[in-house]
Structures are given as C-alpha cells and as structure tokens.
Structure 1
Amino acid sequence: MFPVFTEGVAGGKQYNQKGSGTNALCLTRTPQFDNTAKPRYYGLLYGAEYYNIPGHHDHDVPCSVCLAPQFTTIMVPATLTCPPGWTPHYTGHLASQSKDYYATEYVCLDGSPEDDSSGVRSDDGLLFYPVITVCGSLPCPPYINGKVVTCVVCSK
C-alpha cells in the first residue's frame, strides 16, 4: 500500500443542484479560511453520504488521498481484477449520483465501506448511489442487465 497523504471527509455538490462542481472531493478535517468576503454569485460545497448502500445509508463518507510517487493509478470499472502487470489496491462497486438527479463523476467505493465518525444524518448533500448496467448500447452479453457494477483501483 501507499502512504496516506491526507485523510478527511468526502464532499461535493448537492444532489439536486444544477451548478457547482461535478467531482467528489476529499476535504481536510482542519479547514483554513481567509478574510475573502462572500461573493454575490457562488457554488456550494456539501458533505457526502452513502445512499442505498446496505448498512451505510445516510452515513457520512470518509476519504483518503494516498501518495504514489512515480506510479500511475487507475480505476477500472466492471471488473475485480487489474490488467496484467498492475497492482490491485481495493475492489468495490461503482457509484455516482442517482439517474434522477444532476450528474456527478463515477467513483469506485471500497467493497467494505467505512462510515465517517461525524455521524449519520440525512442532509442530502453529495449522494453516492450504486450504479447498475443497462443493456442496449451496452453489449449484453457479456454484460447483464440490472447488475451492480464492480470496480478495482490499480497502480503501476
């Protein structure tokens, strides 16, 4: 494993907002602010929660950023194995915003998710939903309609 560069709590845009960023962020537990005045127009940053993840629904999401000098790290969706010559770091399930709300990026949630110690609330900020397959433009077979998509994070 690589050394952890920082640990924090996941955050991003609220699930039903059109604007703000689309990517999930790993936010520090010790934020620092300056004296910049609140502007007239702005984006918003919310904490993240698991949604429809068995045993973790509405729990806050911890995160970490690992230092991998001189390595390339990739997330490979729809598989649990890395390409030949690559080292696996964790397997899990693909997650994103719900199909019924504004888009976010796809992320690979660890197959054994942890809950952040800050608690269980239903503030509905950034929400991580499991992603399922839809046959049509996605070739079935080999894919199977309605299956939760797996993923693996690999480095080389």
Structure 2
Amino acid sequence: METKLEVSTICLPNDPQNGESQKDDNDQLFGAEYEIGSSYKPSEMKGDMQHKEVPCAVCFQKKKTVLLMIPGRKTCYKGWTSEYSGFLMTDYKTFSSKEYACVDKDAEPLDNKNGNENGALFYGIRTKCGSLKCPPYKNATDVRCVVCTK
C-alpha cells in the first residue's frame, strides 16, 4: 500500500507566538520561494524572481460571500468580479505532492533576499496534451488563472 501525503500552502503571520525549542529532527515548516527564472517564467510575467521569497496574500471583499479560483481562464464568467488574474503554479513536476496556486501576473517578492533554500517552490506550469484534451487546450502553453468573487 502506497502512502500519499497531502500538502497545503499556508499563510503564516508576521508576528508568530512561537512554541518551545525542540531537539528532535522533524522540521517541516518552510518558507516559499519563486522558481520562476527565465526558463519557468510565464511569458507575460514581469521580472526575474528566481529564489525570491513568496509573500502571503489573503483575499477579502466586504459583502461578497464566494471566492473562486478558475484555472485555465484569465477572465471571470458573467456575473462574477475579477479580483486578479495570473498564472497557475505548483512545485516541480517530479515532486510528489501537488497543490496549485493562482499567482498574480504582477507578483512581487516578499523582499530582495536571493537565497536558494528550497522550501516550498512555486514553478510556472505548462499544459501537456494527452489526457488533457487538445483542443480546446493547446500543448506546452502557460496555464492562466483568475480569482473571482460574487
């Protein structure tokens, strides 16, 4: 029987209330880095953000009750309001877990730190025809996304 682990991206506060220091070797909470240098950067994304830290963002809209991320689109459907559009990202294709995030096309780094710590990694992804039907999709293209509210 194969064990599968679910991984999720979490947004951490800037003012943590830390627990006690431990001696065991079970460190599993990492920061996130963009891996979107020239070869993995979606064509419409600005700047080279290779190894830059990913800031946390939370979408909140007063009087709107539904937030929906739509992969494969850059605009919302009629009746929905676009909060931002960007590119679908996840870790590298050979890594075991996949959680997708819609990263704003105008994404910015947390700071100018440029270390390669390889915690959680955000790569721009491309389509692969086969089980993904082409058309309507096209092979080896950036995957757009949009975050919509209603």
- Tell me the CA shift for residue 71 of structure 1: 1.3
The C-alpha deviation readout for 1:129-148, integer Å capped at 9, x for no partner, is 11111101111011111101
- For 1:51, the aligned partner's letter is E
Matched, 1:63 2:47: no
User: Structure 1, unaligned stretches of length 5 or more?
Assistant: 1-17
| Structure number with higher strand proportion | 1
CA-atom RMSD, angstroms?
2.3
| Matches of 2:14 and 2:112, distance apart in 1 | 11
The reply on whether 1:141 has 2:125 as its aligned counterpart is: no
Query: TM-score of the superposition, structure 2-length normalised?
Result: 0.82
| TM-score of the aligned structures, taking structure 1 as reference length | 0.79
Cα 1:41/1:124, change in 2 over 3 Å: closer
Listed as ranges, the gaps of 5+ residues in structure 2 are 42-47
Q: Classify 1:71/1:115 alpha carbon distance in 2 versus 1 (closer, same or farther; 3 Å).
A: same
What is the aligned length? 138
Instruction: Note the C-alpha offset of 1:104.
Output: 2.9
The percentage of counterpart residues that share the same residue type is: 36
- 8 A contact 1:20–1:44 mirrored in 2: no
Runs of 4+ in structure 1 displaced over 4 angstroms?
A: 18-21, 39-43
Are 1:113 and 2:98 an aligned pair? Answer: no
- Alpha-carbon shift at residue 29 of structure 1 (Å): 1.0
| Offset of residue 41 of structure 1 | 7.7
